[in-house]
Amino acid sequence: MIYGAILAGGTGERLGLDLPKQFLKINNKPILVYTIESFLKVDDFDLIIVSSPKEYIDKTKEMIDEYITEKKEKLLVIEGGATRNGTILNSIDVTDKKDDSIMVTHDGARIFVSPEQIQKSIDYCREYTASCPVIPSVDVVFESKEKGRLDSVPLRKHLVRAQTPQAFKINKFIEIYNDLDEDEIKLLDEAMVLFHLRDESIYLYEGDPANFKITVPFDIEVAKTILEK
């Protein structure tokens, strides 16, 4: 079984919104709808799980009914967790957890993900334990453990920026998670960290610079420009 998990629990705080950013309309369509449409174009998915803050579950379902006209039977809206990791665990809870089942997680606010990128995540995960698209870091990155202080300068040629969709074998995720101690669990801000902690094979493949995450007001203007082309 192949599952998609669209993580849509953002609050919209950095965008200055009074509702979760997945409901923000760009060119007359909510952010989350763009992402769902891309996932529905990938035939491999048996189920696509859409997470939502508890108080917005009904609104999310209404939005899907209004904007999605085909393959709605492949969509399931669930309550997200308090953290990204918690949302992934909630998504796993509704899967069959059979051997070799795969989950593809994606930020709901990365609306320019292509079906080709999603398909690559599935195909590479079939061969490896997990897969993740990455793009080179175009900037020098400083490590600063204390505000105002430069602690180290990693070599840029060794640095890449992680994107989503990220795919992994569901049973392996559960196996590793159950083996983590509390300190390790605190390190989990995305699924790939979990696999890295146990030296599992993660295949990094070429991502797409256009697959950016809408986070701040400037990103909205960029998205509008791209969609109007």
Mean pLDDT value of segment 126-155: 95
Packed helices 57-67 and 31-40: angle between N→C axes, nearest 10 degrees = 60
Strand partners, 203: 131
At residue 12, the pLDDT reads: 63
> What whole-number distance in Å separates Cα of residue 17 and Cα of residue 109?
14
CATH of domain 2-227: 3.90.550.10
pTM: 0.93
Lowest mean pLDDT among 28-37, 52-61, 116-125, 180-189: 180-189
Say yes or no to pLDDT of 14 above 70. Answer: no
E strands in the chain: 2-7, 25-26, 29-30, 47-52, 75-79, 102-107, 130-136, 160-162, 166-169, 202-206
Q: Using 50, 70 and 90 to split pLDDT, how confident is the model at 10? A: low
pLDDT tens digits, one per residue of 88-116: 999 999 998 887 899 999 999 999 999 99
Q: How far apart are CA 64 and CA 58, in angstroms?
A: 10
Q: Which residues pair with 204 in a beta bridge?
A: 132
Answer whether residue 216 shows pLDDT above 80. yes
pLDDT score recorded for residue 112: 97
Per-residue pLDDT, 134:
97
User: How many other CB atoms sit within 10 Å of the CB of residue 228?
Assistant: 7
The residue-averaged pLDDT of 156-179 equals 95
Q: Which amino acid type is present at position 191?
A: A
Question: For 42-85, how does the pLDDT look when each residue is reduced to its tens digit (9 = 90+)?
Answer: 999 999 999 999 999 999 999 999 999 999 999 999 999 888 88
Residue 15 has pLDDT above 80, yes or no: no
Q: Domains of the chain: which residue ranges?
A: 2-227
> Rounded to a whole number, what is the largest CA-CA distance in the chain?
53
Q: Residue 11: what pLDDT? A: 62
Question: What burial letters (b/e) apply to 169-206, b meaning 16+ CB within 10 Å?
Answer: bbbbbeebbeeeeeeeeeebebbbebbebeebebbeee
Distances (CA, A) of 190 to 86, 182, 195, 220: 10, 16, 10, 24
* Closest alpha carbon to 29 in 38, 91, 75, 79: 38
Distance (Å, whole) CA 48 – CA 68:
13
